Structure 1
Amino acid sequence: MARKASIIGGGVIGGGWAARFLLNGWDVSVFDPDPEAPRKVGEVIANARKALPALSDLPMPAEGKLSFASTITECVEGADYIQESVSERLDLKHRVFAQIQQVSKGVPIGSSTSGFKPSELQEGAADPSTIFVAHPFNPVYLLPLAEVVPSAKSDPALIERAKETLREIGMFPLHIRKEIDAHIADRFLEAVWREALWLVKDGIATTEEIDEAIRMGFGLRWGQMGLFETYRIAGGEAGMKHFMAQFGPCLTWPWTKLMDVPEFNDELVDLIAGQSDAQSGHHSIRELERIRDSNLIGFLRALKDRDWGAGRVLLEHDRRRQAAFFEPEGGLSAAAPLVMARPQVLPSWIDYNGHMTESRYLFVASECTDNFMRLIGADAAYIKGGHSYYTAETHIMHRGEAKLGDRLTGTLQVLMADEKRMHVFITLTRDQDGSTVATLEQMLLHVDMAAGRVCPAAPEVHARLQAVARAHATLPRPDAVGRHVGQRT
């Protein structure tokens, strides 16, 4: 039975939370008095459906059920987790918590607040132990960070359960040990924002020039190493102590205006809004969101390939989901091709004709065979032990076209298997219409990697492979099996 997440507030952040839970298989109920909430949340979820699956190397779980409640009581009834994402007004949050706790007993209630401390949120609550800060970053469905901030009144066991829930939906819960206004990340961003306002107000730089300084320079470094690790490298072989000695004195110089605030008046607002319109006004907000998402996917995939930073969170999320998605319904004896990959065609996969390039068909097929290897036990630990399956031969037939944004499904059928070989047939279909875009026939050999020669698979791996082979022996043999280039159909 699917678990239920209740989202109170359906704005950009609430919609992002809804998408994150929904696409990870949770049922989601949303409450927001705005009559436009279903449309707004729906548009956020639509963007998430295009973006989030591109970060995973596993099939996504079956999407949960989305509903919109007419009252808070209806929304939180039967919830396993509740996330509050209403406006940053403490009195409003207190009223929302009071209504939630009239029907919700012992259920974690995370708040998306950017600035309030958990002790402030808990004031006057019927059960303050269940209320805590779970502050995400936009887009919630892609960025993993959630600042988890408890207070002295929080239930430690409930906080640990909440952190586990966040990990289950692919997030990185950063447990902040001491509550403080604006937590960690927003305090840092507020300092940068304040200095940026001064630079614009004083005519030093435009909004575009400031953004270029970030995205062409230190922003790229921060995305993969953060602040202190970046500066450690800047210190050279002598490390952080040398960096501190070299740049510490500048802290006394009047470089910044961080202790001063520019007057926030209409003139400043109009100046910044006008420059922002000139910089980005030719894109709609939804277009900018899609551009942002595509760029973030590229960054995060690169980090995932290197098992580094936020990419490590993505890999861990895949590992947590691996058992559930690589064990087919009905077990290894299921008489049906196995779903082994559900990729989305990314911008980097497209050739000059606007179609998925040839190498990516092979890439998706490799994902299918790699996932199948994990299913039968030839996983990373097995490979580390010195054995693996190597692809000896592949024949690919292009049967259709895959284009940018298409969702594909890769299925694998075992045609033959013995102690040293497995012969498989992979079919790639387009989810939109079920059409076949390619088929690939492969022969793989089991190899002793140190010796560089073919050898029998480990008994437990061979047994799991044979279980699949016996089940698939009852399936029709695909017509394209045994084809070679130029052969007539």
Structure 2
Amino acid sequence: MKAAIVGGGVIGGGWAARFLLNGWDVAVFDPDPEAQRKIGEVLAGARRALPALYDGALPDEGRLTFHADLAEVVTGADWVQESVPERLDLKHRVLAQIEAAAPVDAIIGSSTSGFKPSELNAQGARAIVAHPFNPVYLLPLIELVGDADTCVRAGETLRAIGMFPLHIRKEIDAHIADRLLEAVWRESLWLVTDGIATTEEIDEAIRMGFGLRWAQMGLFETYRIAGGEAGMAHFMAQFGPCLEWPWTKLTDVPPFTPELVELIAGQSDAQSGHRSIRELERLRDDNLVGILRSLKRTGSGAGGVIRDHEARLPRPQAADLPVTAEQQVPQSWTDYNGHMNETHYLELASRATDRFMALIGADAAYVAAGQSYFTVENRVRYLAEVNAGERLQVTTQVLGGAGKKLHLFHTLRRGGGEVATVETLLLHVDLGTRRTSLPSEAVAAETEAWVTRHSGLGRPEGASI
């Protein structure tokens, strides 16, 4: 699959990273002589952050190329994403060039945050709005507006690369999310203009309060809870009258003057000027990875999108020595020394155990039917330091599987070198009686087949149980 990226700024670079890290070939057109460097920096951030969301490996990266000719970039593309500056005359010119050279069945998306499809296509183009949010390689939301059939096809592609397509059925200026953001932005400008709060104080109000709720529940579900056991109806009855009070200035805009720009910029510099933009991006991405991984655990909000995408990723296939886990080490797995904390060696081995149990038929359905294996002993050997961003692979050897016992030996590797081994002993348990029991005939037969397959490998160095 090929994605053509037209416009390689922050948003275009994020699109390139999202496609590339999901196995697509990506061709980029941007006349900016610094485009390759800028996209390279965005990619560095994406490679550090996106794989850390998953408890498995993303596909191998596609091929990234840069071109001086727009027609060459879009030729043969399955998806073309236009991310040029928000000037309608410029978009018309670029979309006309894309239309002339792109395949007739290619999806042509525009990253526009404000223009409607009817405006984009007024001169004969066939683009849909595919409006993302920064950073595109981490945040899943894409607002789709335009031809219904094209939006359906686009949604299928976006879900396959871990994104969440939101199909907006009617054209409206600024779509949905930016209209909400604009309301908060406008009120915030008034609070600064009137001397009520600084930029830092407004940011604190968001990140210490309702921003944390919004990440998991959005607006209406948050207010439903606020209504107590009586729910949304009670909340509306209690707080509805305040909508008539003159709390906000959402219908007015503060005068956009050089003085306002200087005031906002000065306060922003005082708030965050001690960090570079790249440092702030890394901080943002590390925090987003931590938040998104927490949401993934419960399937809430964007975490559900990641969990669904992870379930669709190719899983390691059974082999003589099967690959039972792969993981890029996230920042959250490292300690004060910058190395992977010892608990996560065991966590990765535990996932390898789960994967191997699925290989022998002791999977989620088996557990739901009332049978499982319980770990009774682990022995870990730490052989090498591991840093954030490094990719680990786990292979599993079966040392025994007679009767109620299952004896596994996991080897954690970075590249070709071992970084740890985890020897695991498990006992089969009837979940109803909570006592040890024999596995089903099918699981026992699969286990015995693996024991036979691995019998000629010899006992691995470090095995001691």
Structure 1 and Structure 2 fold alike (TM over 0.5): yes
> Residue 344 of structure 1 aligns with which residue?
329
Contact 2:329 2:340 in 1 (8 A): no
CA distance in 2, matches of 1:297, 1:249: 39
CA distance in 2, matches of 1:462, 1:34: 62
Task: Give the letter aligned to residue 423 of structure 1.
Answer: H
Pairing 1:123–2:122 present: yes
Percent identity over paired residues: 63
Contact 1:176 1:183 in 2 (8 A): yes
Contact 1:337 1:472 in 2 (8 A): no
> Residue 85 of structure 2 aligns with which residue?
87
1:110-166 superposed Cα distances (whole Å, 9 cap, x missing partner): 11111111121222225x3xx21111111111111111112xxx251x322210110
1:215-244 superposed Cα distances (whole Å, 9 cap, x missing partner): 001111111111011111111122111111
1:254 Cα deviation after fit: 1.3
* Worse-matched range after superposition: 65-74 or 334-343: 334-343
1:154-211 superposed Cα distances (whole Å, 9 cap, x missing partner): 251x322210110010011111111211110000000000111111111111110110
1:248-302 superposed Cα distances (whole Å, 9 cap, x missing partner): 1111111111101111121111111111111101111111000001111111111
Task: Give the letter aligned to residue 87 of structure 1.
Answer: P
Total equivalences in the alignment: 464
Q: Which runs of 5 or more structure 2 residues have no equivalent in the other structure?
A: none
1:437 Cα deviation after fit: 2.3
SS of alignment partner, residue 98 of structure 2: helix
TM-score normalized with structure 2 length: 0.94
Q: How has the CA–CA distance of structure 1 residues 312 and 274 changed in structure 2, closer, same or farther, with 3 Å as cutoff?
A: same
> Residue 112 of structure 1 aligns with which residue?
111
> Residue 437 of structure 1 aligns with which residue?
419
* Worse-matched range after superposition: 465-474 or 180-189: 465-474
Q: How has the CA–CA distance of structure 1 residues 11 and 215 changed in structure 2, closer, same or farther, with 3 Å as cutoff?
A: same
CA distance in 2, matches of 1:73, 1:226: 41
Q: How has the CA–CA distance of structure 1 residues 289 and 91 changed in structure 2, closer, same or farther, with 3 Å as cutoff?
A: same
Q: Which structure 2 residues correspond to residues 281-292 of structure 1 after superposition, within 5 A?
A: 281-292=273-284
SS of alignment partner, residue 377 of structure 2: strand
> Residue 387 of structure 2 aligns with which residue?
403
1:149 to 145, 153, 167: 145
SS of alignment partner, residue 229 of structure 1: helix
Q: How has the CA–CA distance of structure 1 residues 168 and 83 changed in structure 2, closer, same or farther, with 3 Å as cutoff?
A: same
Task: Give the letter aligned to residue 19 of structure 1.
Answer: A
CA distance in 2, matches of 1:476, 1:113: 60
CA distance in 1, matches of 2:123, 2:456: 65
TM-score normalized with structure 1 length: 0.90
1:456 Cα deviation after fit: 3.9
SS of alignment partner, residue 125 of structure 1: coil
Q: How has the CA–CA distance of structure 1 residues 397 and 69 changed in structure 2, closer, same or farther, with 3 Å as cutoff?
A: same
Pairing 1:199–2:191 present: yes
Pairing 1:133–2:129 present: yes
> Residue 343 of structure 2 aligns with which residue?
359
* Worse-matched range after superposition: 311-320 or 117-126: 117-126
Q: How has the CA–CA distance of structure 1 residues 279 and 451 changed in structure 2, closer, same or farther, with 3 Å as cutoff?
A: same
Task: Give the letter aligned to residue 393 of structure 1.
Answer: E
> Residue 102 of structure 1 aligns with which residue?
100
1:382-424 superposed Cα distances (whole Å, 9 cap, x missing partner): 3222222221221111112223444332222223334643322
Q: Which structure 2 residues correspond to residues 22-33 of structure 1 after superposition, within 5 A?
A: 22-33=20-31
Q: How has the CA–CA distance of structure 1 residues 148 and 375 changed in structure 2, closer, same or farther, with 3 Å as cutoff?
A: farther
Q: How has the CA–CA distance of structure 1 residues 224 and 29 changed in structure 2, closer, same or farther, with 3 Å as cutoff?
A: same
CA distance in 1, matches of 2:42, 2:92: 27
Q: Which runs of 5 or more structure 1 residues have no equivalent in the other structure?
A: 484-489
Q: Which structure 2 residues correspond to residues 14-93 of structure 1 after superposition, within 5 A?
A: 14-93=12-91
CA distance in 1, matches of 2:428, 2:121: 59
- Alignment RMSD, CA only? 1.9
Q: Which structure 2 residues correspond to residues 303-452 of structure 1 after superposition, within 5 A?
A: 303-321=295-313, 324-326=314-316, 328=317, 332=318, 334-347=319-332, 349-418=333-402, 420-431=404-415, 434-452=416-434
1:463 Cα deviation after fit: 5.0
> Residue 4 of structure 2 aligns with which residue?
6
> Residue 487 of structure 1 aligns with which residue?
none
SS of alignment partner, residue 205 of structure 1: coil
> Residue 261 of structure 1 aligns with which residue?
253
CA distance in 2, matches of 1:261, 1:356: 50
1:275 to 267, 278, 287: 267
Q: Which runs of 4+ in 1 moved over 6 A?
A: none
CA distance in 2, matches of 1:455, 1:34: 67
